[in-house]
Structure 1
């Protein structure tokens, strides 16, 4: 006969289900991996069910584990509701929100805007995490994703909340030495800065080919900021998002608006977190900011 369920074992089950391995689950829970293994074993014993298949590749849910997962997630959501009951008008929005994005958006757009949110809600602490690949919200690697490629996963709310234009930029010193191209056809005589092709993990980031079909590339980097710095030091022309190029005093636009590309901006949040006050307010702020900055983002108009 199954013993009484110990509710404190459920977070260990959830994290192992999301991460698939003991070490990442332990890091998320801030315990050692033996604790995760022991608490999951206690849960299996109390339910008299095998919840995971164990292999060299990690842990995968059994049929019983898959059946338990939505119930455990519902309990987690209810626990969040209780702990976030403090986020009322008198206490203010409080807690930590993690926003995942690409390096360029994070460093050259979000980092300039999010301090306004901190001033609006002093009890809120926002973390920006970046990666050349998309974060997994289902595994709770972040609370919110803001990217130009939609993330994938169950129970995610994903919508387009804006977009940005990309334009060519160059250093005045480069143009003085090589001349300023007056027509798109003249770009055949110029050098370009681009991404390292075999390191591009998100196809949408290889945007130079959208605007210049056969560029003569002289410098490559997996970092957009490194590309901008190389262009600023005379390496060649670079295609940058408006939020990066227009804000860089080292660069000037070239053939704008004849040469341009566009990318959408998608916002994603897990359904279980969308209504949590600290997450909801961060989402609202991001949507408001993107709407207010639309002309700047799409056309490179002066910033608000």
Structure 2
């Protein structure tokens, strides 16, 4: 048995299909299938059970999985040791993040990390859902709530704030807003109720608004709707500096606090490379939230 066989085994276990594993490995599905069959013959055990839903690990595959993951960590550690240049990070790292963080925070933070580590390739995957680190969809993920299950390590990154906001053009032609009750006369912008993937994103319990008139599963799309003068919504304070003309509304009555959490696979805690990157990412996010929220506070409020 060699590492290349285990690498293919891990890819199929995570993708649960030959074609999905092949895309990640840049191999055709037939080649992946032959390599798995060869590994099964070498071990004298079936590693997968094929069904209409895909390839699921057999009992023998379940037993092999932790050993393959440890081998993966060992090879990654050797690569880190040999490829580092004067303490710099290198190679490819993928971060999963909710789209608000991915759109308004990570571009600046990752740019600074890249400047300090020219050999590092950072990939940001922005999806409005929770990432599956066990399937290695990402090396680490940022979430808006702390997970309570799975073989994970979790670190709080930073608190952040959200406020009601609207564009000045919308406010100039709409009924005035002095209390939360006045929001009932306005078009509200928010999440699609049945597509809210985390309870921390259910913001409208904090207001007296009754109906969301425009909705999206994306925080950045909601901000674009607000910037277009379509209505009022709850937005990240750190996003307001990117939206000229958007101002906070009822800031003394509606201001939410949430947190970002960094999630890593438990086996990755031994990786110095991932730990160093996580430290740089965390510090960068904390600094950027403080800077942008300060700018948002200085940009002014809607008149009562």
Verify: 1:15 aligned to 2:11, yes or no. yes
Verify: 1:290 aligned to 2:273, yes or no. no
CA RMSD of aligned residues (A): 2.3
Partner of 2:54: 58
CA distance in 2, matches of 1:284, 1:6: 33
Verify: 1:127 aligned to 2:123, yes or no. yes
Partner of 1:68: 64
Verify: 1:190 aligned to 2:180, yes or no. no
Say which of 132, 153, 158 aligns to 1:162. 158
Partner of 1:243: 238
Partner of 2:302: none
With over 3 angstroms needed to count, the CA separation of the structure-2 counterparts of 1:191 and 1:8, relative to structure 1, is closer
Aligned residues: 298
State the shift of 1:275 in Å: 4.0
State the secondary structure of the residue aligned to 2:133. Answer: coil
State the shift of 1:301 in Å: 4.6
State the shift of 1:48 in Å: 0.8
With over 3 angstroms needed to count, the CA separation of the structure-2 counterparts of 1:297 and 1:160, relative to structure 1, is farther
TM-score for both structures, normalised by structure 1: 0.89
Say which of 201, 213, 226 aligns to 1:218. 213
State the shift of 1:62 in Å: 1.7
CA contact (8 A) 1:155 1:270 kept: yes
State the secondary structure of the residue aligned to 1:39. Answer: helix
State the shift of 1:151 in Å: 5.1
After TM superposition, what 4+ stretches of structure 1 lie above 6 angstroms from structure 2? Answer: none
Name whichever of 144-153 and 30-39 sits farther off. 144-153
CA distance in 2, matches of 1:180, 1:116: 42
With over 3 angstroms needed to count, the CA separation of the structure-2 counterparts of 1:218 and 1:242, relative to structure 1, is same
State the shift of 1:206 in Å: 3.0
CA contact (8 A) 2:240 2:246 kept: yes
Verify: 1:36 aligned to 2:32, yes or no. yes
Verify: 1:48 aligned to 2:48, yes or no. no
- Residues 205-253 of structure 1, C-alpha deviations (whole Å, 9 max, x = no match): 232x132143333322233222222222221111001111243212011
CA distance in 1, matches of 2:175, 2:208: 21
CA distance in 1, matches of 2:212, 2:67: 53
Question: Where does the alignment leave 5 or more consecutive residues of structure 2 unmatched?
Answer: 300-304
CA contact (8 A) 2:180 2:209 kept: no
Within a 5 Å distance, the mapping from 1:107-146 to structure 2 comes to 107-146=103-142
- Residues 109-131 of structure 1, C-alpha deviations (whole Å, 9 max, x = no match): 11122111111111111110111
State the shift of 1:143 in Å: 0.5
Partner of 1:106: 102
Say which of 259, 263, 267 aligns to 1:268. 263
With over 3 angstroms needed to count, the CA separation of the structure-2 counterparts of 1:95 and 1:153, relative to structure 1, is farther
Within a 5 Å distance, the mapping from 1:174-185 to structure 2 comes to 174-185=170-181
